[in-house]
Structures are given as C-alpha cells and as structure tokens.
Structure 1
Amino acid sequence: MMISIRFLRALACVPLWLAASAALAVASPETEAVREPIPDILVQDQSGQTLNFYSDLVQGHRVALNFIFTSCKAICPQLGASSAALSRELAKSGESNYRVISISIDPETDTPERLQTWRSHFGDAPGWTLVTGKPRDIESLQRVLQVYSADKNLHSGAFLLGNARGDVWKRVAGDTPPARLAIALNELDQAPSAAAQYFPDVTLRDQNGEPHRFYSDLIKGRIVVINTFFADCGAVCPITMQRLAAIQKRFPERLGQDVFLYSITVDPVGDTPEKLNDYARRHGAGTGWKFLTGDPSDVASVLKKLGQFVDDRDAHSTLFLIGNDPTGLWKKANGLASAEEIGDVVASVVDDGR
C-alpha cells in the first residue's frame, strides 16, 4: 500500500536523489550524494547521557562528524584539536544550529568517562559531543557512512560535513584549518537542495490559467500531494478525486497554507485551463488544490521525474505522491485505497519533523 523512503526513492522508476538522513555516495569532487538512512542507533555522550544518534544529534542541524579513539596517537589528537577549535569558531560567530560530533571506533575501551577525560585535553568546546555505543552499532554507522575499516588504526581521518536539510554532504581533510571548516559548513546550507536540483522548473498553468514554476512555486518549502488524471477519465479518476476531496476536508486549516494538492493532467492537449476550471469546480476544489496543465513537453518532463509519464492516457497511475520538501520525506499511497488510509499517510508526512 505505501512505501516510505526519503526523497523520491519511494517513486517507482525514479533515479535516487539526495535524501535527508542518508549515507554518503560520491557524486562529485566537491559534495556527496546520500543513499542509505543514517541509523538512529543508541549512543552515550561524554557525560553518560543516552541519545539517539540521528534524531537527537544530527537531524535538523549542520554537523561536522569524525571518527576517533582515545588511545590513538596518530590522526586523532589532530581531529580532537580541530573539533574543539571548530566548535569555538562556530560559537564565536554566534552560530547555534550546529553539532560537532566525534564518534569512538573503540567503544569497548572508550567509556563516557574516558571520552570526557580525552575531551578535556583540548579546552572548553561548546557544541562538541563525543559518543560511544555498542560495537555492532558503531560498526553499522561506519559502514553506512562508508568509513569502515577492520583495523581501527587505519580509520578515516576526514571530517564529514552535512547541511541542516541533511541532503548535501562534503568530505573534508582532517587537517583543514578550523576557520575553513566553519566556512565550508556554512556554505553547505547555501547549496541548492536535492529537490531543486532534481525537479525541472518548467512553467505549468493551473485551472485559472495562472503560471507556476514547478519546483520554485509549487514544491519548494511545501507539503504536497500529487496525482495524475485527465478530465475525460471515467474509470479511476472519479474515485481518486473523491480521495483528494477527503484530504482537503481533513486538513482544512493547512490546505493552501503549507499543504497543497496538485492534480497533473496526462492529457495536456485536451485539458485546457478552461476545461480544468470546470472540472475543479465540479469536484469542489478549494484554494490549495490546483489542477495543472501546460505545454506537452513541459508536462512530460515533470511526469517523467515523478515516474508517472505514460504514452497512453488511459494507462496513467493511480498513485498519490506525498512529499514534505522541508524535511525531504516522500511517500506514495494507492489512490484507490480508503480515504482514511490515505489520509493517515498524508498526516504522517505532514507531521514529519514536528
């Protein structure tokens, strides 16, 4: 019925793009795409507090990660000094939405007390957290982040820098000056989001003839429910329209504010704005429900990115694609399922990150 994976991995036949909370895969010399979810393993910080690694430390923050162990005499002291200096640099500039995190790869030896002692060698460092955990959990984290080595003495000496959206990462040498690390960390938030890089920003027109850029005007910063249809469809479309009307009724205060419904025609030649206006009126569409058409090539480019393009309009999909652009969470639901079931999927996307 429904699959839930960050950033359109949930869409059949769609290339995997960057994802919030995912692991690193080399995409270019500068930044790295993300692939697998970062495990939300239980860890203990240097004060002995138990935390969920992803949801408590990483999610929603700019992060600088590295891997150390306290008995290491090679790169680890350099990483410790750089971590402390970076946290001081960020604090001095007034930054607050950041985390500098050092993860022990020798968790059986590195107790919270030992981490605290090691940390104290590098002076006061607000925002720098050291964590340890169960060996198998720390290994799984290393594998997901593609830094695992069977020999701890050969561990990665790099910093992994991630933006607050969790969709852009950069691997930086461990001996990079802390001031440069701070600049690099801040620059990641200025990079285009994965969605902005993936979706075409072609212009579509709604049932009132108003033009909208697909990503910049319709997707960016919003929670969306997208389906495909055509106005002359007499088979499944009446049912999917009923389901969208039920979503509209379930979220009356948010629809048109941060939640939007988009029905994209698979017959842009036949479905003119005037025809869609009548269709929208018959189905009780409110302000936040747009019926979209446009130049056939532009509509096709959008549908292909959504994995919804068909040559035969009667073969169009009944899937609903439900996305939360600010958090990067996308899900898909069967548009012929019950209104309650679909509404629950939509609610889970709406509530993501709250």
Structure 2
Amino acid sequence: MLPRLRCLAVLLALSTAAAASAQDTVRVPAPPPAESLQVQVPDVSLVDQHGRTVRLWSDLVRGQVVAINFVFTRCKTICAPMTATLARVRKELGPNAPVRFISITLDVAHDTPGKLARFAEPFSPGPRWSFLTGEPEQVKQALVALGGYTPDKEAHRPLVLVGNATAGRWLRVDGLGSASSILDALREVRAASAPPPELEDATAARDASAARYFTNTELIDQHGKPHRFYEDLIRGRKVLINFAFTSCKGVCSPMTKHLAEVQRKLGARVGQDITMITLSVDPANDTPESLARFARKFSTGPGWYFLTGARENVALVLKKLGGYTEDPAAHSSVLLIGDAATGTWVKAPAMSAADNLVYAVEHLDDPR
C-alpha cells in the first residue's frame, strides 16, 4: 500500500506543478547584487605568466579599471568556468577596451608562470590579462587585501573584484553569474570617474595639451622596462622630476640621498598617486644597470623611476623640461613638482628642506 501512496503523492505534486506552470510564469531568482567595498591594493612584486616581474599596484592597477579573480591551475570545479566567464566579458568589451584583467593564483607552491600560461591559453587572454604568482608572502598579502585569501584553496568562493582605481570605486561580483552582470559592474565603476559634462571637454583638452607638450617619448627605467613618458609616468599623478647622472662627482649623490628622505616622508603615496622621476643627463653612459646600482645606493623605493634611453629621446624630454645640457657636469639641480591632473607646476631647489618639499607636494593645488 505504501508504494502506491508514494506514487500518488508524486503524481499529485507533478500535476500541481503543471497546473501552476500553466497559470504563472516561472521566475528565476536574480543573482545577488554587486557588493560595494573599500579596497587598498598593495604594491607587491609578483610574476606574470610570461615570467615578468610586475608590481601589482603601480604596473597593473593604478589608473585602470580592472576585473580581478582568484584561481589555481589544479582546480577541478569553479576556476575554469569562472575564467571562461571573464573571457566572454573580455570578448564582449573588445580588444581595445580600457579594462585590465588579473587572475591571482591561490596555489603558489604549484602554480609556476609556465603552468599559469598553459592554464590561460584556452581563454586567449591577450596582452591586458595577467595571470600572477610569486613569493608566498607577497601573493598572500595581495590575496588578503583583495578579499581572495582562503586557508583552503578548494573552498574558495567564485568572486570577481571589479574596480576603478582612479575613482576608488570597487564592487564584488559573483564570478559564476552571467557575463552581463560583470559587464554591468564594469560600466558602473567606469562611470564613477566620468567628469561632469561641463568639465569633460576642458579636461580632455588639458590632457591632450599635456600629452603634446610632455610627449609619449619612450624612455627606459632602471629595471630595463620601457615607459611612454606622459601616459605611463605623468598622466593623472603628482610628479617630482630631477636631473642627475651616475658618474657625477658633484651634487647628484647628495641630491638623490636627500630626495630619498623626501620619498620616505611621502610614504606609500609614492608609487600610487605620486611618481618620482630622475632623468639622466648622460644617456650615452647611463644604462639601466648603472642607474639601478645608483638607485640601490640610496635605498630608493617603488614609484621612483631612474630613466635613460636613446640619446635623441632623452634629449627631447630634457629640452621639454628645461634640463638639457651639453655638459652633464653642468646640469640643473632644480626639482620640478607638478600635478598633471590640474596642470599646476612649480620649481624648487632639490636640496630644499625635505619637509618643505613634502609640503609643496601635498599643498600644490591649494588656493593661492
């Protein structure tokens, strides 16, 4: 008798469901809304899938709209589907979209750059998608700061962190939801830094004028990495620029030591919204390697770029900045302090009291 009752119950349930479906539209629950949060991205040194060392904040996130997820190559559950969703987002945006994608491993002990490259290959990541590993403590610091850390990688949540590092707008999205939900979050954070309509034309005009003046001439830093002078190093930041050369027997070493004290006083802002630049006046002899040795003598930190390059490139930029000289020993010891966002620039002796230089940077845009 009991089996018959069970069959009857099942039939009644099915007939009830069928009746309901005939009368009502089935409603699929909406995905959870994007969660807004505060994020402080650390400038840790990591390694991408090509074996290149990159700094998380200054090389990948600063000034960018980003989508970040957390994966590992031996994952048998959510990692591949979540990464495939991000790949659909990237395809939908198009190859030239101003969005950077970042995937950080949860399995540092196993995930080498080569393994991350093989994991990434089926998703056709392109040049604006970095798969990152590195030293365990550096990776953990990044994961903790971004909300991706878990002691058990097998239990990690399918989160995508979407952010606008310029506006400080961050959202956390379900990485197993639809690509459209991630696209909506990207549009929302991008809109956070859009200027009011009445300022948009003026802002664009000022930026275009600054780009023409400073130029995007390619220079090379002390790590051998090329940079476009305006777009990569100046745009949207406060900047300190001085002139030196590594074989200098005069002011260069004392000046660099003094500016290292300024960097320490400015703290973590250098490498975030403040950039320091030392431009060689002797590019014929100053190689990236010699500049790196020079910088190490003074314990300079991230966010300070010692630049050289092709003679004609360096000469062009030096002339724009008023630092060009035929005789390196006769170079200027002036420090240029500017805010590229507002177009405010001042000069100061580079050996001015460190506290005075810090004050000048921090109060550059104060009303006069």
The interval holding the TM-score normalised by the smaller chain is 0.3 to 0.5
Higher strand share: 1
Structure scoring higher RCO (CA < 8 A, sep ≥ 6) equals 1
Q: Going by fraction, where is helix more abundant, 1 or 2?
A: 2
Q: What TM-score do you get using the length of structure 1 for normalisation?
A: 0.46
